[in-house]
Structure 1
Amino acid sequence: MNNDIIYLDNNSTTPLDPRVLDAMLPYFTTEFGNASSSHNFGINSKKAIESAKQKIAQLIKSDSNELIMTSGATESINIALKGLALHPTNKKKHIITVSTEHNAVLDTCKYLETIGFEVDYLPVNKDGLIDLKDLEAHIKDDTLLVCTMWVNNETGVIQPIFEISELVKRSNALFMTDATQAVGKIEIDVVHNNIDIMCFSSHKIYGARGIGALYLNSKTVGGKNIAPLHHGGGHENGLRSGTLNVPAIVGFGKASEIAIEEMHINSVFISKLCNMLEFELLKIDGAFINGGKTNKLYNTISICIPGLDANVFIGKNKNIAVSNGSACTSALLQPSHVLNALGLTENESLQTLRISIGKMNTESDIYSLLEKIYVECKNGSNLL
């Protein structure tokens, strides 16, 4: 990485691990066969995909035949939500999700509302957690699906997935989780956690952009009750037609393999940097952590710094990459819906920085960011 760049926006996307790039390169050059072709070049590509899917499946403790490769978590979410809702055999019209979900979930649910579905958006408390009794009260006979993000992309808040899934399991509804920020960072066991559907992406675990996965529990979903959104070849068990992105899938497999081997050491290293940064930032008068300091992922800090205009700070410091909220809405100068749901005022939301640390960061990055923030707070040049 360029030594002049201080990249602390790893929840948005991670840099590509050089080992992942090395694994991908042959499939751009000599091993370029279409995995659907019957000749030897195609067979080699198909074998590479099968091997990569086994590694991805190992990361989440599933079977490789339960994975559908997509262009990313957003497409996975759309296939799952729309595919379930629009399947000819589905008679249920009720979906439950959470107000702090990623826009990929929220916008898809809003679309489903326009065509006759009822959606409940559960609130969260000041720590970003849902109330399990509230969830239970909303489940009814007509509930098709409960969809809850595992780790929030803005605050790092971790929902009690096992408890949620156990509750949903007692009903006839399905349970889906967007695990984009969780996979590769914490241990994931889809069987133990009673997951029916799970979505995640490669580029959050130092893999390539443009590739993701959709996990479908073969015992409860398995694609049999999901209508495909793409037609034209029957790829990926008929759920996602289109020529497979062999290099990116191979890279996803390599990134998964590395994550399995290095997850613990990464978590210890990143936690140290995150704790150091959080400790120093909380010395600033009036600063507070959004979503509380417990029940959150070890790499994420969402902090409100009174008087600091996050958008101005980001604009002035061109060599620093931090976020003012979700990367998918960062171009919009408006309060984050996640921070609104936590009860922040408009000013508090606009004074919030999201800092997400990765395995390629250093203590020097942390000190450099702190220096820039201290200077802004001292000068008051960008105070609201």
Structure 2
Amino acid sequence: RKIAVCCDAGMGSSAMSAQALKKKIKAAGLPIEVTNYAIARIPNDVDLIITHEKLTGTAKAAQPGKQHLSISNYMKAPEYDELTEALIKVELAGNRKAAPAPAPQPQQPEESLARRRTAGGRMVDLRTIDKIMFVCDAGMGSSAMGAVVLQNMLEANGLANIRVAHCKIVEIPADSRYIVCPKEFAVQIADCMPDSRIIAIDNIMDAPEYKQITEEFLQARVNSNILTGESDDYHGGVLIKKNIRTNLPSVTKEEAIRAIGNALVETGYVTEKYVDGMIAKEDVFNTAIGNSLAIPHGIESVIGEIRNSGLAIFTYPDGIDWGEGETVKLVIAVASAGDSHVETLGKIAGACESEEAVEDILKMSVDEIYDLFA
């Protein structure tokens, strides 16, 4: 029912690869959801996890009970054709039991990057929250320890402005709008705090939900910056013409990454620390993904340095040595902690399906590239 294409950061390569697979799945008429995630944030409802062969070991360690598929190239993945054919056969064979139609449900408001559902089904805007309450029955040992673990994770991701406090159930402050608690108390707390978002956990010291909480607040932060124009240099939109530069002379890989990263800095999308994270990313995983295309982006630890989701596109007709035998002519930098860039990456994935298609892009003007992708 659900396939996740994953990489370490969940931004560039996995997002584009997911769009390519989604196109094949949709063309085959299969009722299967395809999306992308960072390996550390794969949700439990995913059935099949797809990763580059260099990352499959990490993905299996993170999700040992799931099905895994390794691919050798995020853009050129013959495994996708084989997978689609196999899924079609399963569909035609009727191996899946038909589930009864669900009873109609009252329409619920939709969640967004900044607005999340409360226990009572309403929405709470995470952009307005600066305190999380960690609650247990006694409000001492376990909740205090959990609060410290969560606080440390938030601070490590640039969210030190959000304070994590702890208390016992009977002393929850009336203004608490984001609550973390052991699962055995979730129903009780939901009954008395219907306007709060409640995250229930099993393991106080190592709850995977802590990553979910961090991701939610990171996404809300990026969304808030987009809405408010936090940076004076921010020009609006995921892709702007100022961040498209063509026919550049060949440089080294690091020079190219710093140049395109600095373009995002100068236009208010990221901080300089994010650019350092883009360089560090290449030590972990080469961002060249085939067809003369590279998608440099920051490592997961610098997601908090993103001010606004954005892309930048630079072309180098004579090519750049990107290492591991890869020559890159089209460089697309990605900065996103949410989903606002995915539609544009989908267009890029469709337009870069072959070397010939990339060569055509190299001949385009700034206006033509903008019209193609924006």
- TM-score interval, normalised by the smaller of the two chains: under 0.3
Which structure's relative contact order is higher, taking Cα pairs within 8 Å and 6+ residues apart? Answer: 1
TM-score by length of 1: 0.24
- As a proportion of its length, which structure holds more strand? 2
TM-score by length of 2: 0.25
